[in-house]
Structure 1
Amino acid sequence: MYLVAGIFGGIAALLLFAALIIVVLRLKSQLIFDIYPAKGLFYQLKYVIALVLVRRLRHRVYHTKDELNSPEYLAQIDRPQSLSDNPQSYDVVSFMGANGRGEKLFLTLERRRRGVLKACIYLYLPELGLYCTPKLPDMLHFTTDGTRENDEFKGCGFHVYPESSMREWRIRYEGELRPESTTGKCLSVHMNLQFTTQAPFFYHNRDLSSAVIADSVAREAWNDAFYNLLKHVPEMVEKRTHYEQSGRLTGEVQLAGRSFELQLSGFRDHSFGTERCLSNINRYVYVALFLSDGTSLMIGNLSQPSFFLSSLKVGYVCTLEGVYEPITSCNFELYSYGEKGTPPRHKNFIVKTAKTKYFVQIEEQQSSVRYVGADWVAKIYNQFVACTVNGIKGQGITEYLYRNKDGERPEAVNATDPEWFRRVKSFERSLSKCEEDESEVFFF
């Protein structure tokens, strides 16, 4: 009798303990600015659980797949991707670079359905200042008449394409650039650059530190919505691919009759899939720094509360030899840097990898604003900066994205869009109001 009672008592105690653990995990942390969860009382317990689960899941998914490094797979992903029938299908390439003289380049091209291209170039030359594509702050360009797709990063003067998988990309632009800080005269430009690298690629789904993912997840409340999301994480991850690569940007830029030979430390990224909705992102900050000793740092913080990642640090340090060291922690918190809508001109923070601690100091030299989306759903500040990391000088570019809650694309800009695009935007608005209309294919 006592044995049976003891067994049942032990079972009851275990059940009670399990119930308490479940209650503890569901507790909601204090929110900073009603968005960013602080580390709660049971953060360490949740962190350990999350770290174990993330490591096991990623090992099972990625470290057993030899094809991720096969030449066939690399050739497949390192080229313009076919856009699917999914209305949010996208394909993006971006390049950043800088050198010790302070010359900097930023270029991004995003392909969307029906030949829509979201594009911009920034060229910073210390003796001349910052130049950009004339249409900025708007980024929408149209490469077809809306009835055909565009299967290249090409159109409106741009042409960016791989010459050798994971080794060489060509960047061409023939058109105009204008001074960013004034309404000055547009200047003709001919840009012919090559991105080259011998470094491997940093695949975010596989190579991002498990520690920073566990840190972000441990701050969240593990409620029913969280557990329901976990069931769909594998399929959601499969719908988005993002990788980056450190290298060199070299070539010639002819601007208004003057020729500039660029030799930049740089990196590129390539993203594609169907899960890229900026309206679900609260904020993000991305920092790319290139140091005089050949080291580069890519550091970011993403806030996407709907995905239970209210404050996810991302990034790595890349050595001169092309070895990536993922960051394991960082005290760069979004609520401390530009939360009110204006990025700070000066930033100091600490980044850690498994091997080294880096003290980062950044000072803005010039900045610019651009808008993303057919209705300017997001506002992006790009800063062109000088930096010091552990006493080593460098140059770089930062990117601050905010939800553009109060603004909208001006009618003067809308009026320059093709008629078919204005019709599609009208159709999208009817969908948001739950009105029935099958006259167009929703794609933004």
Structure 2
Amino acid sequence: MFILATIFLTLGVFVALLSLFILILGRKSPLIFGKYPCKGLFYQLKYWIALAVLRRLRYRIYQRNEELLSSAPHLATLDRPQALSSDPKSYDVVSFLAANREGQKLLVTLERRRRGVLKAALYLWLPGEGLLCSSRLPDMAHFTTDGNTESSEFRGSGFYIYPEQSMRVWRLQYEGELRRVQTKELLSVKLDLQFSSSAAHFNYNRDLSSALIADSIAREAWNDRFYNMLKNVGHIVEKRTHYEQNGTLAGSVRLGERELKLELRGLRDHSFGTERCLSSINRYVYFALFLDDGSSMVLGNLSQPSFFLSSLKVGYVCSPQGLYQPITRCNFELYSYGEKGTPPRHQNFIVHTSERAYFVQIRVEDSALRYVGGDWESKVYNQFVACTVNGVSGQGLAEYLYRHKGGRPEAVSAQDPEWYQRIKRFERSLSNMEHTPEDDEEFVF
């Protein structure tokens, strides 16, 4: 009996201590502006736990499968336009960001969605001339089919982007109109560029610094919702693929009767999956900087509290030889830069990799606003910048995303195809709990 009592007492103490431990880890840290958690009392303990779990998870998903993941057939499958699934949130996005030492800058992004919907933006910044953009901006929605068929390419509304050689060469073409942002003048444009790269790709799920992710997770409250998310993290990772590859963009652009040759250094971004819910993102900031010594730097900070990432820093430094060094820490905090809704014109911050520190200075030369999401859930300020990193000059681009509650204006949505307007009415009826079974659509966008 004494032994049995001792066992029950020990178990009771263990359960009590475990409950206390879980309660402590579930405590909320103080929040800056009610959004961004500080390092709590048990931050360091949570950090080391998170780091150990992340390293184990990455080993299980990536490192022990490296031979398969780096094989030519797998990379070819990864790099081509993806078949959109039946999930209404299915997406496939390709983007190019590039600049040169003369100050010319280019941003192109195409996002494929169900039923042939294409979200597109093109910006071209020329020194002495200013900014040109695709004529439909700040709205990005284009419709490439009749709504009954799916697209299989990054193609439509004058755009055509496609791989010529997997993970090596992509072609970027556009024929249509660009608008001078300052004067509203429309110019006929024909753009034909080739992106080429001998560098590897930086996979955000695999290559992002575990220290950055552990830092973000350690600041959060480890409550029941957090543990439920952990149980499904493998499934969540499978739903999101995002990689970038550094390279060069070269070719020509005809503006009216004038033809320019472009030679730019830049990156190609490819993202696809089913978890791209802009309505859950509080803010993000993203920098892509291309330096005169041939190196480049990408830095971002994402705030998505519903996914237990209230302030997740991401990024890397890429050498002139195409080798990536993940950023391990940075003092760029969202609450210090444009928290009230207006992006700053100057930014200074320090970035660290495992090898060295970088002092980054940024000056904005021009900016433009566009809206993203089916109902303009977010707005993005695209900035075209000059920079200095450890004394080395460069050029680049930046994005500041904020929540937008104004909706998509009637004057814009009235131009949409009838089938798309019908879908949006159906979505609103769901939100207002007004729909009836006979009104059901097969697809919710």
Shorter-chain-normalised TM-score: which range? Answer: over 0.9
CA distance in 1, matches of 2:13, 2:180: 71
Counterpart residue type for residue 379 of structure 1: K
Would the aligned equivalents of 1:283 and 1:400 in 2 still touch at CA under 8 Å?
A: yes
Query: Mapping of 1:344-355 within 5 angstroms?
Result: 344-355=344-355
Query: Does the alignment pair 1:153 with 2:137?
Result: no
1:357 aligned onto 2:357? yes
What residue is the counterpart of 1:208 in the other structure? 208
Offset from partner CA, 1:111-152 (integer Å, 9 cap, x none): 011111000100000021100001110000111111111111
Matched, 1:424 2:423: yes
Deviates more, 1:14-23 or 1:211-220: 14-23
Q: Mean Cα displacement is larger for which, 433-442 or 294-303?
A: 433-442
Instruction: Write the distance in 2 (CA, Å) between the matches of 1:356 and 1:377.
Output: 38
1:110 is aligned to 2:111: yes
Measured in 2, the distance between the counterparts of 1:43 and 1:354 equals: 21
**Is the aligned partner of 1:433 residue 2:418?**
no
Could you tell me how far apart the structure 2 residues matched to 1:11 and 1:307 are?
34
Q: How does 1:7-406 map to 2 (within 5 A)?
A: 14-65=14-65, 66-182=67-183, 184-405=184-405
Amino acid at match of 1:87: P
Q: Matched residues in 2 for 1:222 and 1:82: separation?
A: 36
Q: How many residues align?
A: 442
Q: Alignment RMSD, CA only? A: 1.6
Q: Give the 3-state SS of the residue equivalent to 2:52 in structure 1.
A: helix
- The range that moved more, 108-117 or 18-27, is 18-27
Distance 1:8 1:432 in 2: 52
Q: Which amino acid aligns with 2:272?
A: F
Letter in 2 for 1:199: A
Give, as a single letter, the amino acid of the residue that structure 2 aligns with 1:427.
F
Q: Please list every run of 5 or more consecutive structure 1 residues that lacks an aligned counterpart in the other structure.
A: none
Give 1:176 deviation, angstroms. 0.6
What do the CA deviations read for 1:244-263 (whole angstroms, capped 9, x no partner)? 10110111011111111111
CA distance in 1 between partners of 2:229 and 2:374 (Å): 28
Shift of 1:441: 2.6
TM-score, normalised relative to structure 1: 0.97
> Tell me, what secondary structure is at the counterpart of 1:136?
coil
* Letter aligned with residue 304 of structure 1: Q
- Measured after TM superposition, the shift of residue 80 of structure 1 is 0.8
Measure how far apart 1:20 and its partner are.
2.8
Task: Return the alpha-carbon distance in structure 2 between the equivalents of residues 422 and 2 of structure 1.
Answer: 75
- What is the CA–CA distance in structure 1 between the aligned matches of 2:388 and 2:10, rounded to whole Å? 59
2:417 is aligned with what amino acid? Answer: P
Listed one character per residue, the Cα deviations across residues 181-203 of structure 1 (whole Å, up to 9, x for unaligned) are 33x22001110001000000111
* Structure 2 CA distance for aligned equivalents of residues 429 and 423 of structure 1: 10
Amino acid of the structure 2 residue aligned with 1:317: V
Offset at 1:19? 3.0
Once residues 419 and 277 of structure 2 are traced to their aligned partners in structure 1, the CA distance between those partners, rounded to angstroms, is 22
Letter in 2 for 1:91: D
Q: Which segments of 5 or more consecutive residues in structure 2 lack a partner in the other structure?
A: none
Q: CA deviation at 1:443?
A: 3.5
Output the amino acid matched with 1:231. Answer: K
CA drift at 1:4: 8.4
Q: Which amino acid aligns with 1:235?
A: H
Q: CA offset at residue 419 of structure 1?
A: 1.1
Q: Does the aligned pair in 2 maintain the 1:428–1:442 contact within 8 Å?
A: no
Taking only the aligned residue pairs, the percentage that are identical comes to 64
Amino acid at match of 2:360: V
Aligned partners of 1:204 and 1:443: how far apart in 2? 29
1:83–1:90 contact (8 Å) kept in structure 2: yes
Q: Secondary structure at the match of 1:64?
A: helix
Which one-letter code corresponds to 2:380 in the other structure? I
Distance 1:133 1:210 in 2: 38
Question: Is 1:113–1:443's contact at 8 Å kept on the other side of the alignment?
Answer: no
**1:385 alignment partner, SS class:** strand
**Offset at 1:18?**
2.7
* Residue type of the alignment partner of 2:94: V
| Mapped partners of 1:29, 1:244: distance in 2 | 33
Deviation at 1:13, TM superposition (A): 5.0
Shift of 1:439: 3.8
Name the CA distance, whole Å, in 1 between partners of 2:199 and 2:242: 16
Superposition map of 1:409-420 within 5 A: 409-420=408-419
CA distance in structure 2 between the partners assigned to 1:377 and 1:219 by the alignment: 27
> Quick one: distance in 1 between partners of 2:283 and 2:342?
12
Q: CA deviation at 1:2?
A: 9.4
Structure 1 CA distance, aligned partners of 2:386 and 2:126?
13
Give me the whole-angstrom Cα distance separating, in 2, the residues matched to 1:347 and 1:369.
Answer: 19
What SS is found at the alignment partner of 2:232? Answer: helix
For the residues of structure 2 that align with 1:374 and 1:282, how far apart are their CA atoms?
17
Report how far residue 373 of structure 1 moved.
1.8
What SS is found at the alignment partner of 1:49? helix
